[in-house]
Amino acid sequence: MAAFRTAAAVVDALPEGELDRRIRTRTLTDLRGIGPKTGAAIVQAHAGDVPEYLARLEESHAELVPLADDVAEFRSALRGDLHTHSDWSDGGSPIREMAEAAISLGHEYMALTDHSPRLTVANGLTAQRLERQLDVVAELNEELGPFRILTGIECDINVDGSLDQTDELLGRLDVVVASVHSDLRAESAAMTERMLAAVANPHTDVLGHCTGRLLIPREQREGRRQRPRPESAFDAEAVFSACVEHGTAVEINSRPERLDPPLRLLALAVELGCQFSIDTDAHAPGQLDWQGNGCERAVETGVDVDRVVNTWTADELLDWTAG
């Protein structure tokens, strides 16, 4: 399945029209990460057919249907997504399009968490731009109700553990996802102290993609390409214990190139009693459907659905973040 997740991530990163061109010119397998088997499945799925490989798997492994049912049941319990991006930072679509896609999936809410100013490569929002975004979100919420766009940010965790936005603005937001995006190869002790400080910050609601790993290359803005990278080193037991102490949820990041935390760390977080948020980190409307990846990993490691904060209603969630 890892090969198919990799191929899906490669296809998702293609510019508009490129998939059609690759299929027409039979050059799909020239792309790194797509082989003959995954390429054939992509062509068949793009034509609206059930891929032959998938049909054979379903026939050969019917005994796995109960697991699939468990994942589907878990997915149906999710009411929203707490980590999404728009074209205000490094996403590819306007806020309205992201919200309408979330509505089509049956979500009740979506937290808009564009990047903070330090992450200039991702067009992070200055305080002034974030203030303007809050006004835009308020107007959209009047139009799209009862669906709700929760105000938020994916806030960089600075090297000293502080958060990359003013306390005043962070206090006005519904959801704060705090993530490390720089100095990812720091020594374990330094990274641990950095993360512990962020987790203890009263504004932090969710610890985003905690290891920072990338399993496959991915495209960024303006043609930049990120290489795969290993996990950051940190004392996971200390960080997850701090999450329990301070009421900070651990994100189960569903992006195919992240799938973060790794299963062994996710199992540790379960054992220590953490709460979780199953998020897509979506940068385009179609990526909002990736939550199934996170649900599969949650089922595999025994996450209790009641400990997943985005199974709660918006009011329950906001009571929790406010606290």
Query: Rounded distance, CA 224 to CA 210, Å?
Result: 23
DSSP bridge partners of 250:
207, 276
Averaged pLDDT of the chain: 91
Q: Provide the whole-model pTM.
A: 0.81
DSSP bridge partners of 259:
none
299-303 long-range Cβ contacts below 8 angstroms, 24+ apart? 299/67, 299/70, 299/71, 299/74, 300/263, 301/263, 301/266, 301/267, 301/270, 302/267, 302/270, 303/252, 303/266, 303/270, 303/276
The CA-CA-CA angle for residues 319, 299, 270, to 5°, reads 60
What domains can you pick out in the chain, each with its CATH number?
A: 1-61 (no CATH), 69-322 (3.20.20.140)
Query: Rounded distance, CA 162 to CA 178, Å?
Result: 10
Per-residue pLDDT of the chain (323 residues; tens, 9 = 90+): 557 767 777 887 788 788 989 999 989 888 888 888 888 889 888 887 767 876 665 555 554 444 588 999 999 999 999 999 999 999 999 999 999 999 999 999 999 999 999 998 888 999 999 999 999 999 999 999 999 999 999 999 999 999 999 999 999 999 999 999 999 999 999 999 999 999 999 999 999 999 999 998 766 655 666 678 999 999 999 999 999 999 999 999 999 999 999 999 999 999 999 999 999 999 999 999 999 999 999 999 999 999 999 999 999 999 999 98
Instruction: Tell me the two tokens of residue 97.
Output: 């399009």
